[in-house]
Amino acid sequence: MAERVFITGMGMITAIGDTVAANLHSLRQQQSGLGYTRYLDTIYREVLPVAEVKHDDEALREMAGVPGQPQYTRTTLLGLIAMQEAWQQAGINDPLREPAGFINASTVGGMCDTERVYFDLIDPSKDGPFLQYIDTLDCADSTQRIADRMGFTGYITTISTACSSSANAIMYGARLIKQGLQRRVVCGGTEALTAFTLNGFNSLKNIDKQPCRPFDQQRNGLNLGEGAAYLVLESETLARENGSTILAELSGYCNSNEAFHPTAPSPEGDGAFAAMQQALAMSGRSIADVQYVNVHGTATLNNDVSEGKALQRLFGREVPPFSSTKPFTGHALAAAGAIEAIYSVLAIRQGIIFPNLHFSEQMEELQIVPETRLLEQQPVRTVISNSFGFGGNNASLVISKYEG
């Protein structure tokens, strides 16, 4: 019998808060993190809203405990800060006692810092401290710096499947546990805003100049965000042995592929439907058991149509309350799946359903509308969290209340 996988610690930093508690507070206050960038060097500074973490790199270095060390990129710093909270919450003091794996997710590695010095890097006549950034461009850089700083001794790797990266990291960590290769794995992702990704999505004409409006007829694209989020996963055996506080159970997951187009989902949401359906089947829950869906809901024209259709196909007339929390955090790409997995745990533990901000008009293609109110005292026992990405990569997680 495969081990059950429990969530025993969480840590995060986003535009709406530096900790899990601060995020919860902002969600309850319905306080969006969207605004104009203070730190990004781009001509879109006052044109395209982003959800930026409200500290400059130097302040983040202080928070992460590595002041004055420029080789820690913003990607790494955000990750370190979230990781330290996750360890603290899970009560991990001695990483040697139980080797922990670290499955990280990243879309563009240390691009945030590299892009500022790239043309000096390739210019032989230029020399200087920027050479410290040479090896920070790839995705492994932040993973290894975080792993080294914390003292991880188990499996260490990085996943990059665009916007579903950290959901896939969580899935991979859970599978390592289920097959007995590791008893504790910390999974999640980290993402810093970059001119590279901002221009990338803008070249796809996928960025709204207004705060994003998921599942709204007038939606016109996403807003990028940044942040990091990690979840500590433990096997049931370890959690019991260790007396861990069990926050929730990761009861199901599925990764499926659209096999349709490099960047667009299939119009009927085939991949999204398959991911949700199979993840739910694995969890042993039925559609009637789902009280909330934290949708991917990027507010791009395509995503919301296909994800909405998938919801209608799966739940029929009984679509549970669903919302996109991207109007709070922006789309934090590789970190999004882990951020929203933590929000799903919070929904269960706090009995709360988060509002889908900025919604006003039902989409003509759909019969459903997102939940726009903040609902408290809800009996939330099972949540589906969706993360879908380029390359047709769809990941759904099912997170359930721990009931023994």
Residue 274 contacts other proteins per CB under 8 A: yes
CB of 259 to other proteins, least distance (A): 4
Annotated active-site positions, please?
Answer: 163, 296, 331
Contact region with other proteins (CB under 8 A), list: 85-93, 167-175, 289-297, 312-320? 167-175
- Decide whether 207 or 239 has the Cβ nearer to other proteins: 207
Nearest CA among 244, 201, 209 for reference residue 97: 244
- Decide whether 19 or 306 has the Cβ nearer to other proteins: 306
Residue 162 contacts other proteins per CB under 8 A: yes
The residue from 94, 97, 125, 203 that contacts other proteins (CB under 8 A) is: 203
Residue 135 contacts other proteins per CB under 8 A: yes
- Decide whether 120 or 289 has the Cβ nearer to other proteins: 120
Type of residue at 333: L
Residue 223 contacts other proteins per CB under 8 A: no
Spatial distance between the Cα atoms of 345 and 339, rounded to a whole number of angstroms:
10
Q: Which of residues 74-113 bind other proteins (CB under 8 A)?
A: 106-107
Type of residue at 329: T
Residue 205 contacts other proteins per CB under 8 A: yes
Which residue in this structure is represented by tokens 């999640």?
188
Q: Is residue 382 within 8 Å of 248, Cβ to Cβ?
A: no
Residue 212 DSSP symbol: P
- What is the pairing mode between strands 34-35 and 156-159? unpaired
List the x/- string, 295-334, binding to other proteins by CB under 8 A: ------x---------------------------------
Q: Which of residues 40-69 bind other proteins (CB under 8 A)?
A: 42-44
Spatial distance between the Cα atoms of 246 and 30, rounded to a whole number of angstroms:
27
Q: How far is CA 277 from CA 62, 117, 121, 212, 271, in A?
A: 44, 45, 47, 27, 10
The residue from 19, 26, 168, 312 that contacts other proteins (CB under 8 A) is: 168
The residue from 115, 216, 340, 371 that contacts other proteins (CB under 8 A) is: 115
The residue from 59, 134, 281, 288 that contacts other proteins (CB under 8 A) is: 134
The long-range contacts involving 88-94, CB below 8 angstroms and separated by at least 24 positions, are 88/9, 88/11, 89/9, 89/10, 89/11, 89/20, 89/232, 89/245, 90/8, 90/9, 90/232, 90/234, 90/244, 90/245, 91/9, 91/244, 91/245, 92/9, 92/184, 92/232
Helices (H) and strands (E) in the chain, counts: 12, 12
Spatial distance between the Cα atoms of 117 and 126, rounded to a whole number of angstroms:
10
Residue 202 contacts other proteins per CB under 8 A: yes
CB of 323 to other proteins, least distance (A): 25
Residue 139 contacts other proteins per CB under 8 A: yes
CB of 330 to other proteins, least distance (A): 18
Instruction: Point out which residues bind other proteins (CB under 8 A).
Output: 42-44, 106-107, 115, 118-119, 121-122, 124, 131, 134-135, 138-140, 143-144, 147-148, 153, 155-162, 168, 172, 175-176, 179, 181, 195-196, 199-200, 202-205, 220, 255-264, 270-271, 274, 301, 389-393
